[in-house]
């Protein structure tokens, strides 16, 4: 037992200076001793299972809350600006300045984006298992800064790039970047991808951890945080795809990359400024190890149970669970649930090896993870639809009239439409739609996480249908005016394409925010960062699936009709409307698959959240 002071008066955010006596860790003792310590922690207003930035137990009223989360939201604006400022325009840089072919440039960008989002799993895993979300963000931001610095230096110094392309004739082709210059380019890109992945896997759960989920107000604030997290993503994207892209196109890539480098560098001290207010979850060990241990134990014990001489005894309560730290929203000892009964075999009196000793709590945590995986799978098709925003939709707009009065809008700036719509819809949803839904349903959530995700999936179906109808209209205009083989802009405004952007933007707001909140709240406390990172994994798989789907469609249509739907240099000869209708049908089937699993899903948090505050008060009274 050691006395300490939680906050000092010299801190940026002072809180009462009060000595508290508390063990820095909870050793395994007798049941009564452990309960006394937990009761002491509750009476002394300590956040059980959380520490401050100096690794001291976090204190209620001093750490966490909306102020702490606000720093996370502002940092996310800067981080997404730094990432998207280059990713949105990277294909041009690779083809125009590094002299890669268009197809190679597109593949490099796809691989870069997919890798960045997939690496969010690594960031979430490390935050749960070994480090904290606080540390992972700082490490990842430093890595992204180094990657952007390398790219900026290469863009600034001519000798680090291939010579300018004097002629595009076959006699004097452009020299593609090679050798050490290529190594420098890819080192910078994938350092950025590694940093972005770590940030995406740690920053959202770090912000969500700042709220007290044992109170109704805390849960509502956490829900608002996820809404405004998507809002801040859009703020960064808006600035990136307008101002920074304009700088890159008109002033030079070294200036655009320099802005991104400076932005991510500024985000680090800004994040540190909120340190005195943060509360950070203590890492609980590898969640993946727990999952594999339970699965291995269940399989082994199932094989043993087939032999008459061996029996597996399920234990509703294990003695070891009495010594485990108590999470504020969970009971220490439980009876195994009836769902996924096969995993109950992992709990046995005589494990084949001590490493395969599983508690009921571990088994139930793995069940939760397995139950949310079908929901994750059902969101991949939505993200496959979102991938069309940066591919065929841009090419559609490029064939149309992109003038707005005297202003000529670049087709690559079309993502501004869903970004602006998200920025408008997010506050409306949080301050108007959600309160109305709460009054209408007389429930705390108003709109459940799964209802929100389902709404996004419906919007994606509508978006693909609208995209198909717009493409039919665009080709009719081209046929009517005899411009099927012409490169001239068609006499139809590109704002027709903006319709599908608005529906997909709405789908992104509903589904991304709903997914992140759903995975965070439903996942066990020891796996929350990893579970939240699944949202970005869905996005990455959706991008990869889009490329695979185009290849499959071209392969099948080319074999049976001799003319692939999506091949050639002239978009007017594509059967893009058929591809969009196919996406619409697949999205509809995916929605039915989603309904199958969503209707059977039982919320882990619904039963405990409504009574968690009451139970906590009862504990304090006792």
User: Is 575 contained in some domain?
Assistant: yes
Distance CA 545, CA 496 (A): 26
Residues 171-186: pLDDT tens digits? 456 776 777 888 898 8
Is the pLDDT score of 195 beyond 90?
yes
Residues 535 and 397 in one domain: yes
Whether residues 582 and 458 share a domain: the answer is yes
Task: Give the CATH number of the domain where residue 499 resides.
Answer: 1.20.1250.20
Strands 2-5, 19-22: pairing is antiparallel
In the listed set 218, 253, 284, which residue is the last one of a domain according to the structure?
284
Per-residue model confidence (pLDDT) at position 594: 94
- Cβ neighbours for 229, distance < 8 A, ≥ 6 positions apart: 72, 73, 76, 204, 207, 513, 516
What is the count of structural domains for the chain? 2
Higher pLDDT, 110 or 78: 78
pLDDT of 349 reads 66
- pLDDT for res 494: 84
Buried b (16+ CB within 10 A) or exposed e, 380-390: bbbbbbbbbbb
Residue 349 lies in a domain: no
Q: What is the pLDDT of residue 566?
A: 79
Q: How many CB atoms lie within 10 A of CB 142?
A: 15
Structural domain contains residue 17: no
249 belongs to a structural domain: yes
The predicted pLDDT at position 308 comes to: 52
Hey, what are 218's tokens? 């805390």
More confident residue, 363 or 336: 363
In 486-527, alpha helices (H): 495-522
Q: Is 406 exposed, middle or buried (0-12, 13-18, 19+ CB in 10 A)?
A: exposed
The answer to whether residue 479 sits within a structural domain is: yes
**Residue 430 domain flag:** yes
Please, which pLDDT band fits residue 102 given cuts at 50, 70 and 90? low
Contact 328, 365 (CB under 8 A): no
Percent of the chain with pLDDT over 70: 81
**Which range marks the domain in which residue 224 is found?**
42-162+178-284
pLDDT band at 10 (very low <50, low <70, confident <90, very high): very low
* C-alpha to C-alpha distance for 319 and 325, rounded to whole angstroms: 13
Is 253 in the same domain as 393? no
Q: Is 365 contained in some domain?
A: no
pLDDT > 90? residue 486 = no
Q: What is the pLDDT of residue 1?
A: 39
Domain boundary residue among 235, 251, 284?
284
Q: Taking a C-beta distance cutoff of 8 angstroms, is the pair 256, 136 a contact?
A: no
For the segment 429-451, the average pLDDT, to the nearest whole number, is 88
Name residue 407's beta-bridge partners. Answer: 404
- Is residue 354, in this structure, part of any structural domain at all? no
pLDDT for 76 beyond 50: yes
Q: Are 209 and 85 found together in one domain?
A: yes
- What is the rounded average pLDDT for all residues in the chain? 78
Q: Could you tell me if 396 and 274 lie in one domain?
A: no
pLDDT digit string, tens, across residues 518-577: 988 888 887 888 888 888 888 888 888 887 888 888 888 888 767 788 777 777 888 888
**Judgement on whether residues 390 and 278 belong to the same structural domain of the protein:** no
pLDDT tens digit sequence for 276-333 = 999 888 887 777 788 888 888 888 877 776 655 444 444 444 444 433 444 444 444 4
Token reading at 120: 């969010």
């Amino acid at each position: 037992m050691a006395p300490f002071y939680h906050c000092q008066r010299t801190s940026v955010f002072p809180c009462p200076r009060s000595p508290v006596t508390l063990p820095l860790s909870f050793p395994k003792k007798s049941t009564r001793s452990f309960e006394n310590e937990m009761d002491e922690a509750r009476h002394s207003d300590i956040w059980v299972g959380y520490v401050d930035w100096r690794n001291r137990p976090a204190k209620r009223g001093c750490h966490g809350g909306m102020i702490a989360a606000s720093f996370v939201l502002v940092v996310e604006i800067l981080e997404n600006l730094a990432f998207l400022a280059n990713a949105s325009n990277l294909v041009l840089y690779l083809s125009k300045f590094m002299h890669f072919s268009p197809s190679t440039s597109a593949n490099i960008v796809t691989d870069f984006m997919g890798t960045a989002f997939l690496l969010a799993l690594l960031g979430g895993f490390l935050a749960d298992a070994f480090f904290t979300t606080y540390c992972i963000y700082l490490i990842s931001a430093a890595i992204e800064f180094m990657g952007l610095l390398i790219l900026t230096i290469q863009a600034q110094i001519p000798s680090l790039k291939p010579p300018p392309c004097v002629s595009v004739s076959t006699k004097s082709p452009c020299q593609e970047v090679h050798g050490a210059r290529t190594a420098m380019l890819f080192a910078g890109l994938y350092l950025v991808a590694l940093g972005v992945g770590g940030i995406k896997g740690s920053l959202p759960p770090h912000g969500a951890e700042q709220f007290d989920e044992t109170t109704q107000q805390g849960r509502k604030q956490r829900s608002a945080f996820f809404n405004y997290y998507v809002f801040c993503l859009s703020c960064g994207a808006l600035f990136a795809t307008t101002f920074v892209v304009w700088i890159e196109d008109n002033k030079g890539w070294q200036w655009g990359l320099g802005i991104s480098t400076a932005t991510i560098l500024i985000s680090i001290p800004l994040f540190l400024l909120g340190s005195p207010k943060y509360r950070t979850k203590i890492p609980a060990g590898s969640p993946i190890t727990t999952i594999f241990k339970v699965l291995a134990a269940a399989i082994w014990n199932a094989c043993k149970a087939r032999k008459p001489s061996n029996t597996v005894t399920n234990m509703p309560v294990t003695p070891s669970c009495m010594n485990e730290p108590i999470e504020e929203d969970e009971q220490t000892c439980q009876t195994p649930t009836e769902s996924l009964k096969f995993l109950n075999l992992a709990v046995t009196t005589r494990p084949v090896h001590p490493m395969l000793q599983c508690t009921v709590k571990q088994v139930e945590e793995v069940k939760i993870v397995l139950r949310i995986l079908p929901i994750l799978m059902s969101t991949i098709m939505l993200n496959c639809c979102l991938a069309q925003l940066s591919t065929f939709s841009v090419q559609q707009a490029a064939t149309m009239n992109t003038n707005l009065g005297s202003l000529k809008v670049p087709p690559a700036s079309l993502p501004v439409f869903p970004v602006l719509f998200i920025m408008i819809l997010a506050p409306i949803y949080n301050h108007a739609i959600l309160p109305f839904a709460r009054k209408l349903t007389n429930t705390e959530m108003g709109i459940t996480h799964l209802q929100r995700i389902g709404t996004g999936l419906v919007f994606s179906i509508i978006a693909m249908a609208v995209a198909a109808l717009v493409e039919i209209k665009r080709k009719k205009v081209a046929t009517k005016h005899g411009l099927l083989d012409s490169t001239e802009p068609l006499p139809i405004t590109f704002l027709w394409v903006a319709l599908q952007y608005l529906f997909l933007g709405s789908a992104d707001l509903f589904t991304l925010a709903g997914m992140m909140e759903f995975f965070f709240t439903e996942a066990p406390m020891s796996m929350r960062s990893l579970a939240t990172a699944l949202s970005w994994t869905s996005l990455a798989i959706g991008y990869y699936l889009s490329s695979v789907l185009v290849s499959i469609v071209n392969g099948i249509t080319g074999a049976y009709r001799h003319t692939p739907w999506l091949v050639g240099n002239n978009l007017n000869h594509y059967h893009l409307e058929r591809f969009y209708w196919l996406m619409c049908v697949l999205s509809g089937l995916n929605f039915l698959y989603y309904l199958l699993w969503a209707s059977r899903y039982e919320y882990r948090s619904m039963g405990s959240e409504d009574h968690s505050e009451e139970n906590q008060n009862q504990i304090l009274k006792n």
